[in-house]
Structure formats: C-alpha cells, structure tokens
Amino acid sequence: MRQIILDTETTGLNARLGDRLIEIGCIEMVNRRFTGNNWHNYVNPERRIDEGAKAVHGISEEFLADKPKFADVSAEFVEYIRGAELIIHNAAFDIEFLDAEFARVGLGRVVDHGVTISDTLKMARELHPGKRNSLDALCDRYQINNNHRTLHGALLDAELLAEVYLAMTRGQDSLAIGVETPREAVPEAGMEKVSTKPVKLVFLAADAEERGAHEKLLAGIDKESGGRCVWLTPDKDPDPQTA
C-alpha cells in the first residue's frame, strides 16, 4: 500500500478569494515504511503573502521570487501522487487549495487522479473526542519530539504528521486488523526470517530411577493434600473420607 503524507503552506486562508499555494511537502510510505522517495517544492504564488500567514510559516515574497510556478511543477506532482492514499491533517483545507491550483492548469481535481484521501484530524477527533487535536497537540500526546518546529513548514510538518499517523494507527499492524503484505515479506532490517519447515522432535523417555523419584514426589504431595493430588493415576480409589 502506497501512502503519501502531505502538507502545504499558503499565502492566506481562503483559496476562493485567490490565496495560493507556496509550498508542498510529501513523505512517501509503502507498507508503513518510509521509502525516502519524498517530494518537496516551493511555489511562486504570483501574489502577495498575507502578514498573518507569513508570521506562521516565515516565507516571504522575496524568497519565492525565483521559485517555479505551480504550472511548472504540476505534471511532476500529479505523477508523484497518482494512485496513492493521501494522508493530510485537516484535509479539506489543503485539498481546496490543491483543487484550485489543479483547475488553473486544466488538471481537474485531485481525486480525478486515482487518489484517496484520509484526514488525520477527523481520525484524531474520533480517537480523542473533546481534546485538542492540532499537530502540536498530537505530537505531545504521542511523545513525538517537535522541539525543532518553531515555524510551520510543509516538509517538516509532513514528517511530523507521518510519525503521528503511525502512532495513531499502530493497531493496524496486528493480525486482528490484517495487513495486505505478510510481515515475512518485509523483514525488519538486520533480522533473519524464521524457518517454518517442520522440526523433528526428540522424545526422551524417563528411566526406572526417574519414574521412581516421580512417583515418590507425587505420593508426598498426595499425603500433604489429604489425598487430593490430581497428578496421580485416575483409577486411584478415592479416600472415602474426602470423596
């Protein structure tokens, strides 16, 4: 199963009023393992950045001036996400911006490219009703170190979200849930696969001396328990006083 943990940064909060994407960060997982095949780009939004947004992510118009426009990276991005499950925190926000960018370059919508979308904010609210479920709050809850996160950044936030997602869905590794790929098909690094071939067992019978010692031990137990030793032969006549 191929999953892409995705995060974006934008010029503001409202794509319908013309706010644009300025950064996209993606972390790839296959069968719940990081592959290193990540995708990250800054994007020139061709408009000013709201001061409130700039205070959150620290990205300026000057920094983005020489970065590619979304149209320049759109084909590469679509091929990267095609057919994957996108895992996004507060997915409605990011997808609205991505859909707006896709529409500008004639690519339809994100879901038109064979992707499915999972929202970790919705998942967190179901798991932790009534609690704070921001990315920072989830990092605290699952003991994921985010001390280096002083400003938002799409790639950094995607990395943190990937760790949060794995922590939230850890039960999916169990046999009760089931996994598409058998565990032996993806062995842990440095671990040898255990052979499942039948093993010939060796049977060692007790000799006369050992059987005698065993009977003596059981007799002692029987005496101490008032005739209640359950390991003695079942045809032993019960003591009429204890039966």
Closest CA to 166 of 27, 8, 36: 27
Please tell me which residue in 89, 128, 152, 214 is annotated as part of the active site.
152
User: Residue 3 and residue 214: Cα distance in Å, rounded?
Assistant: 60
Residue type (1 letter), 209 = E
Phi and psi angles of residue 32, each rounded to the nearest 5 degrees, phi first = 65, 25
Do residues 121 and 7 make contact, with C-beta atoms less than 8 angstroms apart? no
Is 152 designated active site? yes
Beta bridge partners of 108: none
Look up residue 81 and give its two tokens. Answer: 């996400």
The contacts of residue 48 (CB under 8 Å, 6+ apart) are 11, 61
User: Residue 60 and residue 72: Cα distance in Å, rounded?
Assistant: 20
Q: Show which residues are catalytic.
A: 152
